[in-house]
A and B are shown apart, each in its own frame.
Chain A
Amino acid sequence: GQNIDQPTEMTATEGAIVQINCTYQTSGFNGLFWYQQHAGEAPTFLSYNVLDGLEEKGRFSSFLSRSKGYSYLLLKELQMKDSASYLCSGVDSNYQLIWGAGTKLIIKP
């Protein structure tokens, strides 16, 4: 079956760095998305990886290892506004999105 696993909740301190991991099992693979969702709001796009390696966008970076079925989202210089859920989504061979349940990130001052 197809599955996305990510931790349910993580806590980090303002100004620190946090890494949110995601492992995936999909029928075929056409990339992996990360979305951010603030409480009560819509998910918004953060990153898309289809090749192995690290992609950096300001304070946020996303890493992919296709051989390990693994990705992570790295958030640096954490700000209180980064408190949100982070959704990992794999794209299967039919270009269907398989979604994880999301990781709720709590930032403490």
Chain B
Amino acid sequence: IAGITQAPTSQILAAGRRMTLRCTQDMRHNAMYWYRQDLGLGLRLIHYSNTAGTTGKGEVPDGYSVSRANTDDFPLTLASAVPSQTSVYFCASSGGGSSGANVLTFGAGSRLTVL
């Protein structure tokens, strides 16, 4: 089934630990995104990539890094986790690249708790 796979589904992490959330899509979409979703707030963009080999900062990039070595994979790394990074993280993709208002396809989410 075409779509986006995220892993892990859920993780509890000690503060200060390094963590990578994985995201893989099989739709050959150019653009990929990482969002965090917190209660009472809208989705907030962390980082994005318009095409393989390029990345950009979103609204809340501090404490996070991404890479886009190929079209399919877009991992999100927390170098040293802090409790404020407790959230649900969604990876998304769209086929339109850097321009146009494109429909996003979301992964199922990764629930991260930092203690």
Report the Cα distance A44→B34, complex, angstroms.
16
Closest A residue to B107 using CB positions: A42
Bound CA span A68–B54, Å: 37
Q: List 8 A-B contacts (CB under 8 A).
A: A8-B40, A30-B101, A42-B109, A43-B104, A44-B106, A45-B104, A96-B45, A100-B42
Is the contact region of chain B dominated by helix, strand, or loop, or is it mixed? loop
Contacts of B98 in A (CB 8 A): 95
Bound Cα distance from A89 to B45, whole angstroms: 12
Asked if A50 contacts B104 (CB within 8 A), the reply is no
In the assembled complex, which residues on chain B have CB atoms less than 8 Å from the CB atom of A98? 42
> B12: CB under 8 A from chain A?
no
B residues within 8 Å of A by Cβ? 40-45, 90, 98-101, 103-109
Binding site for B on A (CB under 8 A): 4, 8, 30-31, 33, 35, 40-45, 48, 50, 87, 89, 91, 95-102
Q: Judging by beta carbons under 8 Å apart, are A101 and B41 in contact?
A: yes
In the complex, how many angstroms separate the beta carbon of A57 from the nearest chain B beta carbon? 13
A95 CB contact (under 8 Å) in B41, B43, B45, B101: B101
Closest to A44 in B: B106
Q: With A31-B101, A42-B90, A95-B101 in contact, is A87–B42 under 8 Å at CB?
A: yes
CB of B109 to closest CB in A, whole Å? 6
Contacts of A87 in B (CB 8 A): 42-43
Cβ 8 A contact of B108, one of A42, A45, A97, A101: A42
Q: A95-B100, A97-B104, A99-B44 are in contact. List 19 more A-B contacts (CB 8 A).
A: A4-B42, A8-B40, A31-B101, A41-B108, A41-B109, A43-B43, A43-B104, A43-B106, A44-B106, A45-B104, A48-B103, A89-B42, A89-B43, A91-B101, A97-B43, A98-B42, A99-B43, A101-B40, A101-B41
